[in-house]
Amino acid sequence: MDCDDLSGIPNNENVSDKERDTAHQAFCDYEAGRYKESLKRLETLNGDDKSVQFNSSIVQFSIDGDVDRLLENLTSDDELDLAQQVCVDFNRALLLAKYKGNFKEAIKILEKRVSLITDPMGIVDERTTIRLCHLLAVIYVERKKDPSKALALLQFLGDKFDNPPHRLQQLKALCYLQMRSTKAAKKELKSINGEPLLRSYLELQRSNCKKTLKTFASCSKENPYYTNNEAVINFCMGKKNTAVHLLSKQINNLPPETVYNYGLMNLFTGNLKNAFEAFKKCLLYFKKNPRLWLRIAECKLEELSRNKIEDFDIVKRKQDMILGYADDGLHRKMIFQGCNDKIIDKEKLLFIRKCLLHSLTLIQSDTERDFYPSNYPSEVELKRLTISILLELSYVNLCLHNFSYAHKYAVEALDLSPESNQKCLAHLYAGEALVWLDSITEAITHFSESTSNPPEEGTVYKAVLCYNLAVAYTLRGEFSKASETLRLLRNIQPQSNKQVLPIQFIVLAIYIQLAQGYVDSAKSIIKQHLTQYR
């Protein structure tokens, strides 16, 4: 972690000039890396003085590196004044973040101190104030906490300098990139030299892939994330297999942040097993990231959905529609496959639901969630992410026949005012749940195309919507409306001419004709769609 060194504790005011001089010499030795000489000087001072004790502990840590002992010694004390206590808290936060990885506690300590510094120069010295704010800003940026908070701190620090240090401008540029504010990031990078990695990140966000590669070529290969960045650039350029291959060669030696990206790349390219294994490894490091739990659930959901896609392959599924025959000759009857109420892949669905519930709990908790290594989401992204989790929970509960919960999650998603595809799915799942709950009238309202507002390109969705609406009308005994809805379904055909009608469409059409007494029409449908059974 790139942050400041430990800070010495200021001396008490009621010390002699000789002691003050000795303390200053000890500080100079410490700054110069002469730790043993510094410790010897401190040992000549008053051993009962808390500031001397704390400074001795800091110097001793620089010699032996015992983090636990130093943390044990750096505790609050009533004998310390405010400026001294601020330095103690700064050191504790730095140790927790840099050596213990306890960023949550470090942020808690620093935020408490920063919130008290309403007039920094009137409470503690400028140097301590700057180091305190700088450390908190670094943690915000590197751990991808709320970049707007980091930016506010960096703006405050920038006002303290006529010529802001390179590091502050670098952090500001990174904040803007995390906020996807490319114009502001470009403006910030213009005022500093170098930084090829940040510049390549900027060009990548602007979709200038060639310029990204050119800029990235000057980055140091010694950086532990070099391979990760190279793979990300290739993935964004459409070279997805190349990106996955780059990371797979070093999968056992990759940092956890890169393993997370490796999992994403495999998920998006359909390598679900590799994606799942990668995300499982990441749980050791990022278990409070709601996105990670969502991705694990999506790996298993994608496996299940591949089987569902076959329902839209009428040519293939026609072979499975007829169970057998009864009687012979003129009295021969066809026996259709019955409805299978058995829950398929129940254990897998229960696992998916558990992951999604964990994700939902985290995303609804401001204190527990941590999006690292993902970028901190904007308010719009956070809403979309929450809706995605709710929709997947609704779908899984439909599959598990928990229809009341399926309806509950779909309605919660609708309450968040989803847009486009998410709105369509929310209405679809709510309607399906209501059909099973025997609330047909309310279900029809959800299935109404004007209510769910499907996108123009959503051909499959429109097909499922029409089918469900026809089922709802059928259950209510309105066979003429159901028949008319199915006729609309026949007109839904994508430009690719790929069949998108669900296989259940044929069985429902036959049932509706028979229910109305139109036996010849039912036979006609069988002859048209099931030619092998003429």
CB atoms within 10 A of CB 10: 19
Residue 11: DSSP 8-state: P
Question: Residue 397 in contact with residue 405, Cβ under 8 Å?
Answer: yes
What pLDDT, in 10s, does the model give residues 387-407? 999 999 999 999 999 999 999
Percent helix, strand and coil across the chain, each to the nearest 5: 70, 0, 30
Q: Give 534's pLDDT tier (boundaries 50, 70, 90).
A: low
Which of these three, 130, 160, 190, is where a domain ends? 160
Domain-located, residue 211:
no
The tokens 């599959």 sit on which residue?
A: 399
What does the pLDDT read at residue 367? 79
| Of the residues 96, 125, 160, the one at which a domain ends | 160
Nearest-5° Cα angle at 78, 75 to 82? 85
Residue 450 in domain: yes
Residue 334 lies in a domain: yes
For residue 21, tell me if it sits in a domain.
Answer: yes
Q: In angstroms, rounded to a whole number, what is the distance separating the alpha carbons of residues 446 and 456?
A: 18
CATH number (domain holding residue 430): 1.25.40.10
Q: What pLDDT does residue 496 have?
A: 47
Q: What is the extent of the structural domain holding 33? A: 1-160
Reported as a single tens digit per residue, the pLDDT across 147-183 is: 999 999 999 888 877 767 788 889 999 999 999 999 9
In a domain, 349, yes or no: yes
512-524 pLDDT, tens digit each: 998 999 888 888 8
> What is residue 12's predicted lDDT score, i.e. its pLDDT?
59
Distance CA 399, CA 307 (A): 13
Specify the residue for token string 């940092």.
255
Q: Pick from 160, 183, 213: which residue ends a domain?
A: 160
In three-state secondary structure terms, 50 is helix
Q: How many CB atoms lie within 10 A of CB 370?
A: 20
Does the residue 25 lie in any domain? yes
- Report the pLDDT averaged over residues 355-366: 95
- Identify which of 61, 66, 530 has the alpha carbon closest to the alpha carbon of residue 321: 530
298 in a structural domain: no
Peptide bond preceding 373 in cis form (omega within 30 of 0) = yes
Residue 255 within any structural domain of the chain: no
Pairwise pLDDT comparison (80 vs 104), residue with the higher score: 104
How far apart are the C-alpha atoms of 361 and 368, rounded to whole Å? 9
Mean of the pLDDT values across residues 322-337? Answer: 72
**Considering its fold, how many domains does the chain have in total?**
2
Which of 127, 126, 148 shows the shortest CA–CA distance to 137? 148
